Amino acid sequence: MSKIIKHPELGEVFITKRVKSRRLSIRVNSKGEIRVSIPWLVTYSRAMSFVEDNKEWIIKQRTSRKNRPSPMNGIDVEAIRNQAKATLPARLKYLADLHGFTYNKVFIKNNVSNWGSCSAQKNINLNLRLVLLSQELIDYVILHELCHLKYLNHGKEFHLLLNTLVNGREKELRKKLRQYRIR
Ligand SMILES: [Zn+2]
Task: Check residues 141 and 79 and name the one with the higher pLDDT.
Answer: 141
If you average pLDDT over residues 146-168, what whole number do you get?
A: 97
Report the separation in Å between the CA atom of 2 and the middle of ligand 1, taken as the mean of its atom positions: 48
pLDDT digits (tens, 9 = 90+) for 51-74: 999 998 998 888 775 555 555 555
Q: In what order do the strands lie in the sheet with 2-7?
A: 2-7, 11-18, 34-39, 25-28
pLDDT tens for residues 79-91?
Answer: 899 999 999 999 9
How far, in Å, is the centroid of ligand 1 from the Cα of 73?
26
Q: How confident is the model at residue 16 (pLDDT cuts 50, 70, 90)?
A: very high
C-alpha of residue 63 to centroid of ligand 1, in Å = 27
Residue 127 has pLDDT above 60, yes or no: yes
| Sequence spans of domains, the chain | 2-67, 77-178
Ligand 1 center to residue 146 CA distance, Å?
Answer: 9
Q: Which CATH class is domain 77-178?
A: alpha beta
End-to-end CA distance of the chain: 32
Mean pLDDT, the chain, whole residue set: 91
**Per-residue confidence band for 94, with pLDDT thresholds at 50, 70 and 90:** very high
114, amino acid identity: N
Residue 151 Cα to ligand 1 middle (Å): 9
CA of 182 to the centre of ligand 1 (A): 15
Select, from the ranges 9-13, 15-19, 22-26, 161-165, the one with the highest average predicted confidence (pLDDT): 161-165
Average pLDDT estimate for 152-169: 97
Average pLDDT of span 158-171: 97
DSSP H helical segments within the chain, as ranges?
44-53, 55-63, 77-99, 135-148, 156-165, 170-178
CA 115–ligand 1 middle distance (angstroms): 9
What's this model's pTM, rounded to 2 decimal places? 0.62
Ligand 1 centroid, distance to 148 Cα (angstroms): 7
Question: In angstroms, what is the span from residue 106 Cα to ligand 1's centroid?
Answer: 16
Q: What's the rounded Cα separation, in Å, for the pair 172 and 30? A: 26
DSSP three-state, residue 150:
coil
